[in-house]
Amino acid sequence: MIATESLSKRFPRVTALDRLSVDVGPGVTGLVGANGAGKSTLIKILLGLSPATEGRAEVLGLDVATKGGAIRERVGYMPEHDCLPPDVSATEFVVHMARMSGLPPTAARERTADTLRHVGLYEERYRPIGGYSTGMKQRVKLAQALVHDPQLVFLDEPTNGLDPVGRDEMLGLIRRIHTDFGISVLVTSHLLGELERTCDHVVVIDGGKLLRSSSTTDFTQTTTTLAIEVTDTDEHPDGTRAMREALHARGVETHQGDGLPGAGHILLLTAQGDETYDLVRDVVADLGLGLVRMEQRRHHIAEVFKDDERADAQVSAPDARKEAVGHGG
């Protein structure tokens, strides 16, 4: 869908993108970064609106430097900021934007009605946009990005300014854009947690550099961590410790789940397959302990980036990123 190759964008004073090479396939892709990380600059370049200083980029197989118009015909864009005139109705506005994308008048009206219904605007679509709530405005912005049935949409901070319920609805809608509508999505956010639930793939950039690009299933499923909690008995006053030692004797490394509630009583170990579950069961039975819990713990993306953060100390703006990670957890 999108491919960039050592893409750089330098302004006189700042480097917005620094030799960014990234491949984005179909599906929902999250583009994460703190404010000023270069997300909007990247979108601008991908829409063919701003020339890259060096490197190249392709969207849907079209070169952004030469085929901007063709790209913009097949791509939708939802800006981060407010962009709606208050004195027209959602229907009129979206019809107009559909025609601006090249749809003939009749098709523009039909697609507008369809799209507004899909984003969840019903009777209110005939009223002037000025009277809409933030959530409704976000839906209109989304509708104008989808109305011409693009192959790919860029959504710039679509959950900005929404309350938790509105946020969930918007994320659900974004998921549906791919699963139901068959449109690939590139969605930016500075909140990792949101993207974890919504995206198939996450690209993290910071200071214009690629920090990480991997699928969310990589993060969260390939290494399953088991969390185990056992009871204490008279025989084993510290059940957790007895459990740990017994597991260790059988060659299974465990560690404490630090930073979690009740961390002292929880053991984390890496599951290699069904044998691990059997082993835990057997050990618990042998020791005569009660098994309070044995559950798969999904890694949160945030944890994955915590490692990066430690390793990658020279990256600028660590405060901003910490904040992002904090939200994500």
Partner 1 sequence: MAVEQPQAPAMARAGEQTRIHDIGYRSYDGPRLGRAYARRSLYSQSLRGAYGLGRSAKSKVLPMLLFVVMCVPALIMVAVAVTTKANDLPVHYTRYAIIMQAMIGLYVASQAPQAVSRDLRFKTVPLYFSRPIETADYVRAKFAALASALFILTAAPLLVLYVGALLAKLDFTDQTKGFAQGLVSVALLSLLFAGLGLVIASVTPRRGFGIAAVIAVLTISYGAVSTLQAIADAQTNTGAVPWIGLFSPITLIDGVQSAFLGANSAFPGGAGPGNGEGVVYVLVVLGLIAGSYGLLMRRYRKVGL
Using CB under 8 A as the criterion, what x/- string covers residues 174-193 for binding partner 1?
------xxx-----------
**Piece of the chain touching partner 1 by CB under 8 A; list 117-125, 189-197, 230-238, 275-283:** 117-125
- For 117, the 3-state DSSP assignment is helix
Ranges within 7-66 binding partner 1 (CB under 8 A): 40, 43-44, 47, 49-50
Task: State the minimum distance, in angstroms, from the CB of residue 183 to partner 1.
Answer: 9
Whether 266 and 228 have beta carbons less than 8 Å apart is answered as yes
Its sign, for the CA torsion 127, 133, 134, 135, is negative
The structure tokens listed for 219 are 């993060």
Please report the sign of the dihedral spanned by the C-alpha atoms of residue 128, residue 130, residue 136, residue 137. Answer: positive
Residue type, 226: L
- Please say which residue, 25 or 182, places its beta carbon nearer to partner 1: 182
How many whole angstroms separate alpha carbon 108 and alpha carbon 212?
39
Q: CA 64, CA 95: separation in Å to the nearest integer?
A: 27
| Cα torsion through 130, 135, 141, 143, rounded to 10 | -110
158 vs 239, beta carbon nearer partner 1: 158
Between 118 and 241, CB nearer to partner 1: 118
Single-letter amino acid, residue 270: T
DSSP summary character for residue 96: H
Output the smallest distance, CB 4 to partner 1, in A: 17
CA dist 251 to 32, 48, 129, 238, 267, Å? 39, 56, 65, 20, 15
Piece in contact with partner 1 (CB under 8 A), picked from 67-75, 157-165, 289-297, 299-307: 67-75
In whole angstroms, the minimum distance from the beta carbon of 191 to partner 1 comes to 21
At 228, which amino acid appears?
A: I
Single out the residue of 126, 221, 278, 293 in contact with partner 1 (rule: CB under 8 A): 126
Pick between residue 109 and residue 299 the one whose CB is nearest to partner 1: 109
For helices 164-179 and 134-146, give the axis angle rounded to 10 degrees. Answer: 10
Query: Token pair 């995206």 is at which residue?
Result: 199
Which lies closer to partner 1 via its Cβ, residue 55 or residue 128?
A: 128
Provide the mask over 76-115, with x wherever binding to partner 1 is found by CB under 8 A and - wherever it is not.
xx-x-xxxxxxxxx-xx--xxx-xxxxxx-xx-xxx-xx-
- At its nearest, how many Å lie between partner 1 and the CB of residue 85? 5
Closer to partner 1 by CB, 2 or 230: give it. 2
CA dist 67 → 41, 79, 201, 250 (Å): 18, 21, 26, 61
Minimum CB separation from partner 1 for residue 40, in Å? 6
- Interface contacts to partner 1, rule CB under 8 A: 40, 43-44, 47, 49-50, 69-70, 72-73, 75-77, 79, 81-89, 91-92, 95-97, 99-104, 106-107, 109-111, 113-114, 117-118, 122, 126, 128, 144, 148-149, 180-182
